[in-house]
Amino acid sequence: MGRWSRAVGPAFLKWLASPPRARWLEVGCGTGIFTQIISEDCSPARLVAVDSAPAQIDHARRQSSAARANFRIADAQALPFEDATFDVVVSALVINFVSDPGRALSEMRRVSRAGGLVAGYVWDFTAERSPSWPMRAGMRKFGMTVPDVPGTRVSSLNALISLFEQAGFEEIVTRSIEVTNSCADFDSFWQAQTPSYSPATKMIAAMTDTNRQKLIETVRAGLPLTPDGKIQYSARANAIKARVPIN
């Protein structure tokens, strides 16, 4: 799914309009895709990126962005930084997956300076507009019960606003970001949609060969195609930004 992250990240940062030479913290950096976009697009004076998964941090440290960022293992709900350490704190495609998003936002506010910028974005799982929507739609058409994505309830704009309001932020602004991506063929699409960690992948693996092939044909039949045969469709991310109160 990295290409989807690379598609939405620059649009989000342009909308964020952060000041140059700021002190940045990225919460939930994963493999460092968005970290690299920050380092290239925003000229940060300092860039720290944290994730709770050691394997993700190990991977991120091997990327080209590692020379311009400090990657650390840390829990979004207990950030290991002093109060008012950063000017900009962001979270890309993570807030809905945190077990206690309200606590994570309180921590993001705590480590931000007064007047600092706290922001993030998540796929619109509530409206089924994540990059996996064609796969999930095909599974439903086939008659399968598709498991909910963790944190779906906090992925809408209204839910994000409520979370930020409860965390005490001011000047809250939201927008939806629509991005389009394509796959060269069905095999590329299927591989991207069936990572080993996904509950849906495990459901598919448990099917008989006959039913699995029928599911594949159902999903294939519902995919939007370009005139040259590529699979192309859009997904939507919901973004939010706010200020830490000065008083």
Residue 194 within any structural domain of the chain: no
The answer, yes or no, to whether residue 91 has pLDDT greater than 90, is yes
Distance CA 201, CA 162 (A): 33
**Structural domains in the chain (count):** 1
Reported as a pLDDT band with limits 50, 70 and 90, residue 76 is very high
Q: Is residue 247 over pLDDT 90?
A: no
| CATH code of the domain covering residue 153 | 3.40.50.150
Cα–Cα nearest to 108, from 97, 124, 120: 120
- Residue 215 pLDDT greater than 70, yes or no: yes
Please give the Cα distance from 170 to 83 (Å, whole number). 18
Tell me whether residue 116 is in a domain. yes
Q: Is there a domain that residue 206 lies in?
A: no
- For 149-174, how does the pLDDT look when each residue is reduced to its tens digit (9 = 90+)? 889 999 999 999 999 999 999 999 99
Q: Report the pLDDT value the prediction gives residue 147, as an integer from 0 to 100.
A: 86
182 pLDDT tier (thresholds 50, 70, 90): very high
d(CA 182, CA 231): 5
Q: Domain range spanning residue 162?
A: 2-131+149-182+233-243
The single residue listed with the structure tokens 């095999």 is 187
Amino acid 175: pLDDT: 98
Q: What is the pLDDT of residues 127-149, one digit of tens each?
A: 999 999 999 999 999 999 998 88
**Which of 178, 165, 181, 168 has the alpha carbon at shortest distance from 223?**
181
Residue 44 CB neighbour total at 10 angstroms: 24
Q: Rounded mean pLDDT of the chain?
A: 95
DSSP 68: G
pLDDT of residue 217: 96
Kindly state whether residue 208 falls inside one of the protein's structural domains: no
CA 154/CA 109 separation, integer angstroms:
18
The confidence score (pLDDT) of residue 2 equals: 78
160: number of Cβ within 10 Å: 24
For 183-192, the pLDDT digits (tens) are 999 999 999 9
pLDDT in tens, 92-102: 999 999 999 99
Percent share of the chain, pLDDT over 90: 88
Res 198: pLDDT:
85
Going from the C-alpha of 21 to that of each of 38, 44, 94, 157, the distances in angstroms are: 12, 5, 25, 29
In a domain, 71, yes or no: yes
CB 111 within 8 A of CB 84: yes
pLDDT the model gives residue 1:
61
Cα distances (Å, whole numbers) of residue 221 to 145, 183, 188, 215: 19, 15, 15, 10
Do residues 5 and 92 touch, judged by C-beta distance below 8 A? yes
Does the pLDDT of residue 197 top 90, yes or no? no
Chain-centre distance for alpha carbon 100:
16
Q: Mean pLDDT across the stretch 12-41?
A: 96
Of the ranges 72-76, 112-116, 150-154, 237-241, which one carries the lowest mean pLDDT score?
150-154
Backbone angles phi, psi at 125, to 5 degrees: -70, -30
For residue 90, the cross-strand partners are 26, 119
Say yes or no to pLDDT of 50 above 80. yes
Residue 215 lies in a domain: no
Residue 77 token pair:
């709900």
Instruction: Please determine, for residue 65, whether its predicted confidence score (pLDDT) is greater than 80.
Output: no
The reply to whether 140 falls in a domain is no
pLDDT at 89: 98
